[in-house]
Structure 1
């Protein structure tokens, strides 16, 4: 019974590690898109064009544009 509990805890730990890695990858992709969006805006592209290219939402573009 103790073995089963240890195994279950190990499984939960591994699942948490995998979820953390996936979340980190998602966040990294999003940050990359934001950097691209900033560069596109600096080059003079419209927000609509940037949204289409980066697939970001307008709120994120607007907030990040003015953080520069």
Structure 2
């Protein structure tokens, strides 16, 4: 399953990334911080408020771990 995780670099988001990988999913991390590096997942650098419908197409699930 293709999974996108918004806010993947936060406390909850990083746990969700690890769990999704453990379950064998194809994970894409969506983060704002260009310093975020994770060799196990694809990374999209984009602010949550700039995401569009097109950015999220093709995923079977989108998880928001964005915290304000």
User: Same fold judged by TM-score > 0.5?
Assistant: no
Q: Larger C-alpha radius of gyration, 1 or 2?
A: 1
With structure 2 as the length reference, what TM-score do the two structures score? 0.31
With structure 1 as the length reference, what TM-score do the two structures score? 0.31
Which has a greater percent of strand? 2
> Which fold has the larger relative contact order, with Cα–Cα distance below 8 Å and residues 6 or more apart in sequence?
2
Which has a greater percent of helix? 1
